[in-house]
Amino acid sequence: MRVLVTGAYGFVGNAVVRELARAGHEVHALTRGSGAGGLSELPVARVWRGDLRDAAALRPALEGVQGVCHLAALTGVREVVGTDDYSAVNVRGTETLLDVLAESARASGTVPAVVLASSAAVYGPAAEPITEGVPPEPASPYGRSKVEAEAVLRERAERGGVAGVALRCFNISGAVAGVGDRDESRIIPKTLAVAAGRAAQLTMNGDGTAVRDFVHVGDVAVAFRLALESTAGERYRCYNVGATGAGMGEIVALAREVTGRPIPVTMRRPPLPEIPVSLADTARIRAELGWLPKRSSLRELLADAWNAAGC
């Protein structure tokens, strides 16, 4: 299958491209940047450059494509970024991508598969574990944009123009091919930055007892491949992708063990109320796609992320 991966040169995109190529798919990459950076060896058949909101740039990239893994997005749950910024990229960019894809599909008489990278940020406070049936209640502009992007994909899929899958990924970490998460606003990269000496201490919201769900980026990549390959005869589905529950204090304690470095911690009152526990119910993706996380123990997540940091 010829597959276009948007956001192909990002942390998750790198892993998805490699998993698709390993499975024998012809992978094309869409990037807004001017180069591949440290990912020049990414196994793609062709690189296209363009903005998601630019239909003219998307048309040649989507020609002949049977599937799209849509990962390009403006991210950041905690940043105070204008709603319009998230809407412009994450929602209107998705609309433009799907419109151009529909044009190409009508010309070829095909129904392409689209797998959207969504997020646990679509959920609000909920009894854990969280199932896909929990009504979305996002608390951030980013989360709201993901709810709206899912709605766009669902509407287009129900029209019959695409077969759509949304993957609501929880906290992704680890590394594939030496590429880890560089966003040090997130707990694991932030903790490892202190261990590496790039920050003097870790400032933690709350008392360290908050529990979150983590999943290895390699396991996420497998979920994308399985979703892409399972869309025949389907219109729209969504799945949670999570694996390992861990407390914030537990992460720091194990990071000290994995890295052999001190990690000073300062705790502060959270600027916003923290959800005590947020865990994914992944029964649906396990039953329907046969997905099983194989690399998502907390120790492997931390070790792979630490090794990717080159410390």
293 DSSP assignment: -
* H or E, element range at 4: strand 2-6
CB 171 within 8 A of CB 241: no
β-pair partners for 130: 280
Q: Token pair for residue 232?
A: 């025949």
The CB density around residue 75, as the number of other CB atoms within 10 Å, is: 24
* Residue in the structure block whose two tokens are 């008489």: 109
- Which residue among 123, 142, 236, 239 is the active-site one? 142
In whole angstroms, give the CA distance from residue 100 to residue 262: 51
* H or E, element range at 283: helix 283-289
Q: What angle do CA 143, 146, 152 make, to 5 degrees?
A: 150
Q: Catalytic residue at 86? A: no
CB 143 within 8 A of CB 119: yes
173 DSSP assignment: E
202 DSSP assignment: E
Q: DSSP assignment of 11-49, as one string? A: HHHHHHHHHHHHTT-EEEEEESSSS-GGGTT---SEEEE
Q: Which residues are catalytic?
A: 142
